[in-house]
Structure 1
């Protein structure tokens, strides 16, 4: 097969797997059971699986055909952070499989989720360490380059923490205890890394503005570690007690104490990102694969708010979860429609599919 006929498949394509998987997981997590939710969860899970298979296969062909592609992507400061999407795509589909498909597939769903968790966690830890090391030693990074995309390589351990918590009921003894502690360690690592990066993103916006219009959707990526942090805390409260020898009530108090402030800042940032995006859209917001930032980060707000609603019994938080789910469905429709239209248009023009993620300054 000629390399000229193989379309580039950079890692940001896994964002479509993330964004579709979270629809299934969020539908399952909602504290209010609405008509059609189960059907939405199953359809999203099936679509996410099909997208994952297609992207993995296309990636394998691309990397096998172009032996220099992987090195080129890793050395490109605009592309390298999106290897976090590869890890989170595997993790997100694994979680969706566990919560949606287990009633039908049984042990096969659990085994699949476990294998995807191990693979995604290993890759996520590699990106959380390796991509920052490349940024510090090999990349040439401009002073105004900070964007929400910088969070992509360091957030996967937080996604692993949430997914790992869901696997705890399937383990016991020392294995369960080790996994519980690993989840807490990974959540802490991703959380502190996020705290280190958020001031840089805020400072860049304050001093250099929003940057190129095509990069504006990356602002929504900031929501990911916030919502996922609230989700991970809630799931650990639900499932880690027996492994840690800690009363569930104590863990629930901790989860609520952690989750509410995270959700508060997430809503603040959602208002900021939404306002900037709306302003940019009125001026002209070109499509890019960064549109998938309207999906997974918002989905984590659904799961985080759902967990908080369950733990507090607050009707307002349940309503927030439903509202965020509606926003998630809208974001998914926009991203999916834009992706299909762009692929068709490029095919007609004989161009490659988008092969560079949209980031600040691009």
Structure 2
């Protein structure tokens, strides 16, 4: 019960991070050693972590219902329903990109479609309910604005980007067009809200105190929807070209220009976020205390890298293939650090208290004796 009560939806950020690193490693545009072995290993780990997190979430509703309901009353906790929705979409996408090479192809595609439908419903729930609660129930101040508020707004565009891959596999042209309409609509919802939210974040950075070391990782969240917008727009001319008829060529040209422009703003956000991060490791900063928010160094960078991959697929230019692999290397550095710190935090009981208090005190006593010896 202690563990169940402590389990928050922010743990689904680990699902998002592991899943996107697995997919990007497996599908690297330039062949790298052991990419498929590493990708499959991470895919297996993803399934274990996702199932564990999903079971914990269900148990929380059954065994600690009041605590689960209370998530909706706290703005800092409610927003992580977005992580739950994005986690679903990432898992479904990995079954398409990796699972089709491990399972019977048709089975993996059906699993991917089923998870995508669940992720889409969760995404729509999140993007409607959480902002409404922020508008009508929660009390926040302007100086409290952080980019983490994007988390419940981003899931529809993640569902749009991952759903684009599935378009050719959902039936006849009528069904495909209906799915296309949903995908474009979800893209529009998140992209519009992303612009509004980014304006608030920019204003907060200009007019209020600087981000603390605790808050600094949140700035990286801005990069996530940029990458997913690139992935969606680049995927449409490839997967849905036949549905646009006479407008297909125009869509292809627009996608190239749009995605390259978004790539530019993504690089800008990465530089600004990096400068904020480095500031806090100097004497002028507050330090960077570890918490689960560090997974913001993983999924958003992975999202942007997936957008770069999509540009390479659309244009076939070596520039974006090389850029994608460079970004993958940076992603792996961030992922390794965050994964190791998270594992250590779990084992030590720092991120989640899973041992009795007397056990913890006993281990500390043993450590103290060892140091004296």
Instruction: Give the TM-score band, short-chain normalised.
Output: over 0.9
**Deviation of the 1:104 alpha carbon:** 2.4
Q: SS where residue 140 of structure 1 aligns? A: coil
Q: Distance in 2 between matches of 1:79 and 1:175?
A: 36
**Does residue 344 of the first structure (1) align with residue 338 of the second (2)?**
no
Structure 2: unaligned runs, 5 residues or longer? 356-373
Aligned residue in 1 for 2:28: 30
Alpha-carbon distance in structure 1 between the residues aligned to 2:241 and 2:55: 40
Runs of 4+ with deviation above 4 angstroms: 347-352
Q: How big is the shift at 1:347?
A: 6.2
Shift of 1:304: 0.8
Q: Structure 1 residues 246 and 306 mapped into 2: Cα distance closer, same or farther (>3 Å)?
A: farther
Distance 1:37 1:298 in 2: 18
Cα 1:12–1:5 shift into 2, 3 Å: closer
Distance 2:281 2:52 in 1: 31
Q: Which residue of 2 aligns with 1:195?
A: 195
Moved more, 29-38 or 163-172: 29-38
Structure 1 unaligned residues grouped into runs of 5+: 353-362
| Structure number, greater radius of gyration | 2
Secondary structure of 2:144's partner? coil
Look up the match of 1:141.
140
User: Does the C-alpha gap of structure 1 residues 215 and 132 become closer, same or farther in structure 2, counting only changes over 3 Å?
Assistant: same
1:4 Cα deviation after fit? 4.2
1:302/1:324 contact within 8 Å kept: yes
Structure 2 CA distance for partners of 1:120 and 1:304, relative to 1, 3 Å: same
**Which residue of the other structure, out of 101, 104, 129, is the alignment partner of 2:99?**
101
Residues 226/350 of structure 1: CA separation in 2 closer, same or farther (3 Å cut): closer
1:150 and 2:153 are equivalent in the alignment: no
Compared CA separation, residues 246 and 289, structure 1 to 2 (3 A): farther
Q: Which residue matches 1:159? A: 158
1:237 to partner: Cα distance? 1.6
Contact 1:154 1:190 in 2 (8 A): yes
Name the residue aligned to 1:289: 292
Correspondence 1:305 to 2:308? yes
User: TM-score, normalising length from structure 1?
Assistant: 0.92
Q: Give distance in 1, aligned partners of 2:182 and 2:144.
A: 32
With over 3 angstroms needed to count, the CA separation of the structure-2 counterparts of 1:208 and 1:56, relative to structure 1, is same
After the TM superposition, which residues 117-128 of structure 1 pair with which residues of structure 2 at under 5 Å, given as runs? Answer: 117-128=116-127
Cα distance in 2 for residues equivalent to 1:328 and 1:60: 31
- TM-score if structure 2 supplies the norm length? 0.89
Count of matched residue pairs: 350
Tell me the distance in 2 between the aligned counterparts of 1:326 and 1:131.
34
- The correspondence of residues 224-235 of structure 1 with structure 2, limited to 5 A, is 224-235=224-235
Higher RCO (CA-CA < 8 Å; seq separation 6+): 1
Query: How far apart, CA to CA, are the structure 1 residues paired with 2:252 and 2:59?
Result: 46
